[in-house]
Amino acid sequence: MFLFIFLFVYLPQIYLSVCPVKFQFSGSACLQGTNASALEKEIGHEQFPVNEHYFGLVNFGNTCYCNSVLQALYFCRPFRDKVLAYKVQPRRKESLLTCLADLFNSIATQKKKVGVIPPKKFISRLRKENELFDNYMQQDAHEFLNYLLNTIADLLQEEKNHERQQNGKLLQNGGGGGDGGEGGGGGGGKEIQQTWVHEIFQGTLTNETRCLNCEAVSSKDEDFLDLSVDVEQNTSITHCLRGFSNTETLCSECKYYCEQCRSKQEAQKRMRVKKLPMILALHLKRFKYMDQLHRYTKLSYRVVFPLELRLFNTSGDATNPERMYDLVAVVVHCGSGPNRGHYITIVKSHGFWLLFDDDIVEKIDAQAIEEFYGLTSDISKNSESGYILFYQSRD
Ligand SMILES: *[C@@H]1O[C@H](CO)[C@@H](O)[C@H](O)[C@H]1NC(C)=O
Ligand SMILES: *[C@@H]1O[C@H](CO)[C@@H](O)[C@H](O)[C@H]1NC(C)=O
Ligand SMILES: *[C@@H]1O[C@H](CO)[C@@H](O)[C@H](O)[C@H]1NC(C)=O
Ligand SMILES: CC(=O)N[C@H]1CO[C@H](CO)[C@@H](O)[C@@H]1O
Ligand SMILES: [Zn+2]
């Protein structure tokens, strides 16, 4: 109860221009505020994409962290298609994925083109499954995205393993089986199965370390479902990505144990993308722990994100370094800290840019996206700034 009071008191400071009053405890109250036909009119009957639906999601008490991510994922088409395909498969026992599939399906099969849906079953399943989300507090959208993708991947892996057992085709993984990155390890344990979550979001990084004494280079591949990059003031995503793959020297306390020299040595380390994912999810590390304050604070820095992106500084043996990406969705954080404030999402759909703010959906101009880059002044931390970017590859 205390938390609610706190949030309500805090509200007036959080909400500036874009974020209208939210955090309503009862979802149904939000329904009245929207004027669905306005959006339909604005887009125009002729222009309205066939078979597309723009539905807001009811907020069930600080669930905008969840709503914003769900909307972004809904407009990641390869992901939406897989979730909808999962829906039509034979019924399974309820899981976070079946609830997501039901939700996506209910949006996709609405008679109306625009409106509001309460993601009630999904939220209650989420609260049941993970105590981190079992409350009415604001959560980190990136943490939720991570949890959701990993949970879905685990479920799909389990199903695949189960199917294999059913088919009596349990492969012996004597050592030749590993086509993933993991060389020799494991032995016996569960085989890592590629699922459609991996097909869509997984990329590979290579972590190269060069010993400055003997010049031996050791490299290790690591898979990722999203990339977290540091942010700096007045920069761009390309800058953040460059910083990510910059060469770092490991010296003094951070020396590296070189297998060749059999001792700790100074080394140079760099991380580069080796396999580019189909959908690149970029998380901007805007929440930074401040030791003096004993809490996280928000870096509202202005970081320009382009509508089209090409990754530079991929590794020399990258499989698909030329991939061009288009921005398809942005989860935006509004406010001053991770556990307060609000999340909204902007998405690109059939050439339109739309803003999803829980139950409200609006059409916006492409130029309006600039408003979500962040702030050039460090004084105010209260910004509406891009937090998770979803880039989809053209091929
Ligand atoms: C909805 O929007 C339309 C067009 O903008 C307007 O004519 C109508 O009065 C609005 N209805 C409500 C209930 O606000
Ligand atoms: C990369 O490899 C170095 C040396 O092996 C290691 O110290 C470092 O933690 C690795 N970095 C990441 C991000 O895994
Ligand atoms: C960022 O840019 C703004 C406007 O161009 C400028 O006033 C500000 O000093 C810059 N900040 C930094 C840290 O470079
Ligand atoms: C094309 C490109 O951005 N190349 C950059 C790769 O990274 C080095 C430093 O790490 C830059 O100097 C290059 O410009
Ligand atoms: Zn060495």
Other beta carbons within 10 Å of 94 = 12
| Mean per-residue pLDDT, 319-330 | 92
Residue whose CA is at the smallest distance from ligand 3 atom 5: 376
Cβ(207) to ligand 2 under 6 A?
yes
Over 60: is that where the pLDDT of 13 sits?
no
Over 50: is that where the pLDDT of 162 sits?
yes
What's the sign of the alpha-carbon dihedral 95, 101, 103, 106? Answer: negative
Over 50: is that where the pLDDT of 12 sits?
no
Active site residues: 64, 342
Q: How close is the Cα of 258 to the center of ligand 2, in Å? A: 12
Residue whose CA is at the smallest distance from ligand 2 atom 8: 207
> What residue spans of the chain are helical by DSSP H?
2-14, 28-31, 36-43, 64-74, 77-87, 96-108, 120-129, 141-166, 196-201, 237-244
Cβ(26) to ligand 4 under 6 A?
no
Between these two residues, 130 and 197, which has the higher pLDDT value?
197
Q: Which residues line ligand 3 (CB under 6 A)?
A: 233-234, 376
Between these two residues, 270 and 192, which has the higher pLDDT value?
270
Which pLDDT tens digit goes with each residue over 344-359? 999 999 999 999 999 9
| Mean per-residue pLDDT, 250-255 | 86
Residue whose CA is at the smallest distance from ligand 1 atom 12: 35
Q: What are the structure tokens assigned to 28, written together?
A: 């149904």
Q: What is the residue-averaged pLDDT of the chain?
A: 84
Between these two residues, 50 and 174, which has the higher pLDDT value?
50
Q: Which residue has the tokens 């953040």?
A: 240
- Ligand 4 probe mutation, 235, 236, 238, 242, most atoms within 8 A of CB: 242
CA–CA distances in Å: residue 153 to residues 66, 146, 201, 346, 385: 18, 11, 11, 25, 29
CA distance 108 to 81: 10
- Ligand 1 probe mutation, 34, 35, 39, most atoms within 8 A of CB: 35
CA–CA distances in Å: residue 41 to residues 38, 137, 202, 356: 5, 36, 39, 17
pTM given for the model: 0.83
